[in-house]
Amino acid sequence: MNTSEQTLFLLKMRGPQTAQQLATLLDITSMGARRQLEAAQDRGLVAFEDVADKVGRPSRRWALTREGHARYPDRHADLTLELIAQVKTLFGDAGLEKLIGARERSSELAYGQLVDPQLDLAQRVDGLARARDGEGYMAHAEPQDDGSVLLVENHCPICAAATACQNFCRSELAIFQRVLGDDCKVERSEYLLEGGRRCVYRIVPVG
């Protein structure tokens, strides 16, 4: 991955960043980072916003544009939308519900094979994050100081399908809950389809 691609990837994974923050992450000079950003801006892939900090002059935060996010595409979006439409035409809403239900059962079974219920919560969430990452969600786990763990998904590889039919991701909370066990509670704190930059689930220990 060259520096240009790394710059875009960091903005995808970390959200808005200053040129200096990117320079540190890329191990290049701040001038080099600015050149990468300006080149990406010329291609319509990034844009900036000047944010007023509490002290000093505003800081310039760079972020991906819609075109920038489109470099990490929905998997086979056009085909997926066509298949959804055809299933509804041929089998109606009930048929689509059966398809979604089968996908949910398959996902839960696959995750259950990868998440060891004997491990501690952070390790279980990490296992689930690895499974989701393998499916294209750019996922990782972030343990928090209060004992909770965040499951962060920086990309949705089925975004077109989920947008057309939100039932495709309706039961993720329930699936994650069953896979992770009853000693925790799963809450969604950010949601891509409601304007969030990413999907984030907060897993809190209980009992």
Statement to judge: residues 198 and 134 lie in one domain: yes
Statement to judge: residues 37 and 126 lie in one domain: no
Q: What percent of the chain has pLDDT over 90?
A: 47
Statement to judge: residues 90 and 151 lie in one domain: yes
Residues in contact with 41: Cβ distance below 8 Å, sequence separation at least 6, in sequence order: 47, 48
Confidence of residue 65 (pLDDT cuts 50, 70, 90): confident
Judged against a pLDDT cut of 80, whether residue 1 lies above it is answered with no
- When pLDDT is averaged across residues 25-47 and rounded to a whole number, the result is 92
Which structural domain range is residue 15 located in?
A: 3-69
Statement to judge: residues 65 and 109 lie in one domain: no
User: Which amino acid appears at position 85 of this protein?
Assistant: A
Give the angle subtended at the CA of 149 by the CAs of 145 and 6, to the nearest 5°: 100
User: How many structural domains are present in the chain?
Assistant: 2
Judged against a pLDDT cut of 80, whether residue 161 lies above it is answered with no
Confidence of residue 86 (pLDDT cuts 50, 70, 90): confident
Q: Of 36, 51, 69, which one is at a domain's C-terminal end?
A: 69
Half-sphere exposure of 62 (CA within 13 A, CB side): 27
Instruction: Look up the pTM and report it.
Output: 0.68
Statement to judge: residues 147 and 54 lie in one domain: no
Confidence of residue 171 (pLDDT cuts 50, 70, 90): confident
